[in-house]
């Protein structure tokens, strides 16, 4: 209970008046008649309306002022004769907790909200807006918390076995540029959920993407398998051909055998394998024209894998 | 600088439905070769490119980019837009050419 309260208090400090206020404000002019105000208030179901003169806030008029006018006979008269002049206002950049205190102190139903610099009216806020704004924020935080909990951030510590080896596989279709990169983006999300350190995720994402794109660009497809244990991430990208003719050349930056149309899309610049090499702690390529190519990549997770 | 602010200052047009416009942007990268971008751009960058196919969204997502700016009035392909909306990656468009938009970003204090 106490943590929840702390969280709420934190949110009320974090949220600004502008996050909860209504931005589309219906206003009246000081020279408008009370009859017009009456119609506007009942049409839009308003309990209070700011009075604007030029671009300046001249006052505020509420349902109690309207009732006072009706009680006096509802004769022809102008808004400026019934409005509250120089009303108490809030600034849009004030924390919501400040607004709550003002509501508490002054017992008003609403506050006009001004921009601190220009002094212009930018919104209006009621107690109801504060409740709604807070609930929205709470819901958002709750959703994020759920995602966070979903990540088994201490996965390898929490699961007991002599050896844990998590294996995830993806089928990669050759020449399928539509879905190219999906395996790597999915894996990046998986690694986040596992609570792997961001730097390790970055390197894995790049190595994985390059291996995946190589398979899409040059081969008739294959599989990518990610093995994760407490020490390392191992990626095995295995295709069924046609194989790499000269691995040494292929490892040189700028060397490519990609067709022109592939290069126009920004692929095949001869940087893929060198990029993998840069991002990995271990890399091995086995390739023959018959069996195809198998690229093995390892990235050491390291001891300080907290997250 | 917030992405939203950058859009206002440079008149960039939002093409995707992205809501992630509050990201604080300090870095940018200009390039059309995906491996080069993968290898050299910093996380959280905006990426200036002429490529419009859907793989730019994969790259942006893998590198956690704040957004992609398409130059010379180029429009994203339909499936690029769809993927960008799925991944919540803002895609922006400018009539400026690569050199100019890059320079304008540099003027705004954005660095590589």
**Each residue's pLDDT tens digit, A15-56:** 889 999 999 899 999 999 999 999 999 998 888 999 999 888
What kind of fold does domain B3-107 have according to CATH?
3.40.1390
Q: Which letter does DSSP use for residue A80 in this model?
A: G
Q: Which residues of B touch A (CB under 8 A)?
A: 32-36, 38-39, 43, 49, 51, 53-55, 58-59, 61-63, 79, 87
The residue among A82, A130, A88 whose CA lies nearest residue A105 is: A88
Cα–Cα distances in angstroms (integers) from residue A277 to residues A28, A140, A206, A259, B80, in the given order: 68, 40, 10, 23, 29
Number of C-beta neighbours around residue B23 at 10 A: 18
Single pTM value for the model: 0.62
> At residue A299, what are phi and psi to the nearest 5 degrees?
-125, 120
Apex CA B89: angle with CA B84 and CA B91, to 5°? Answer: 75
The residue among A151, A148, A188 whose CA lies nearest residue B63 is: A188
Residue B52 has pLDDT above 70, yes or no: yes
Q: What is the pLDDT of residue A303?
A: 58
Cα–Cα distances in angstroms (integers) from residue A122 to residues A21, A49, A50, A93, in the given order: 9, 13, 11, 11
Q: A269 to chain B nearest CA, in Å?
A: 7
Cα–Cα distances in angstroms (integers) from residue B57 to residues A118, A230, B46, in the given order: 40, 31, 12
What is the rounded CA–CA span in Å between residue A42 and residue B94?
46
Q: Which letter does DSSP use for residue A280 in this model?
A: -
DSSP string computed for B12-57 = PEE-S-------B--BEEE-S-HHHHHHHPPTT-EEEES--STHHH
Residue A2 has pLDDT above 50, yes or no: no
Of B36, B55, B79, nearest to A181 by CB-CB distance is B55
Rg (CA), chain A: 32
- All domains of chain A in start order, with CATH: 2-138 (3.10.580.10), 155-300 (3.30.565.10)
Q: What is the pLDDT of residue A149?
A: 59
Interface with A, mutate which of B30, B47, B62 (most A CBs under 10 A): B62
Q: Is A267 on the interface with B (CB under 8 A)?
A: yes
Residue A306 has pLDDT above 60, yes or no: no
Structure tokens at A40: 């506007």
β-sheet bridge partners, residue B67: B46
Q: What is the pLDDT of residue A75?
A: 87
Structure tokens at A11: 């949110």
Record: contact B62-A267, CB cut-off 8 A: no
Counting residues of chain A whose pLDDT is more than 90, the rounded percentage is: 57
Residue carrying the six token digits 């799925």: B86
The residue among A127, A61, A117 whose CA lies nearest residue A91 is: A117
Q: The complex's ipTM?
A: 0.84
């Amino acid at each position: 209970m106490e943590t929840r309260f702390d969280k709420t208090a934190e949110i009320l400090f974090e949220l600004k008046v502008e996050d909860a206020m209504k931005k589309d404000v219906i206003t009246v002019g000081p020279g408008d008649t009370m009859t017009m105000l009456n119609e506007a208030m009942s049409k839009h179901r308003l309990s209070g309306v700011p009075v604007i003169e030029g671009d300046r806030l001249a006052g505020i008029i509420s349902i109690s002022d309207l009732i006072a006018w009706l009680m006096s006979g509802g004769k022809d008269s102008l808004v400026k004769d019934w409005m509250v002049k120089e009303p108490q206002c809030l600034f849009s950049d004030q924390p919501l907790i400040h607004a709550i205190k003002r509501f508490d102190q002054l017992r008003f139903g609403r506050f006009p909200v001004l921009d601190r610099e220009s002094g212009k009216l930018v919104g209006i806020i009621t107690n109801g807006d504060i409740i709604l704004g807070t609930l929205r924020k709470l819901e958002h935080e709750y959703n994020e918390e759920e995602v966070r909990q979903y990540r088994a951030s201490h996965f390898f510590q929490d699961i007991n076995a002599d050896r844990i080896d998590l294996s995830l596989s993806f089928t990669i279709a050759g020449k399928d540029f539509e879905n190219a990169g999906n395996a790597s983006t999915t894996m990046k999300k998986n690694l986040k959920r596992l609570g792997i350190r961001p730097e390790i995720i970055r390197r894995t994402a790049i190595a994985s993407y390059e291996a995946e794109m190589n398979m899409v660009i040059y081969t008739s497809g294959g599989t990518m398998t990610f093995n994760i244990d407490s020490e390392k991430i191992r990626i095995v990208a295995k295709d069924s051909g046609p194989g790499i003719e000269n691995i040494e050349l292929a490892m040189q930056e700028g060397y490519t055998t990609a067709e022109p149309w592939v290069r126009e899309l920004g692929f095949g610049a001869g940087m893929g394998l060198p990029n993998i090499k840069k991002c990995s702690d271990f890399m091995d390529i086995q390739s023959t024209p018959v069996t195809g190519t198998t690229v093995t990549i390892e990235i050491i997770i390291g001891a300080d894998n907290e997250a | 600088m917030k992405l939203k602010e950058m859009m206002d200052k440079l008149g960039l047009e939002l093409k995707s439905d992205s809501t992630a416009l509050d990201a604080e942007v300090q870095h940018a990268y200009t390039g059309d070769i995906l491996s080069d971008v993968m290898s050299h751009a910093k996380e959280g960058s905006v990426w200036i490119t002429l490529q419009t196919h859907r793989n730019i969204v994969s790259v942006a997502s893998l590198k956690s980019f704040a957004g992609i700016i398409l130059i010379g009035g180029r429009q994203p392909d339909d499936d690029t837009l769809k993927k960008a909306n799925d991944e919540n990656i803002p895609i922006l468009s400018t009539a400026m050419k690569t050199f100019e938009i890059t320079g304008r970003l540099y003027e705004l204090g954005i660095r590589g």
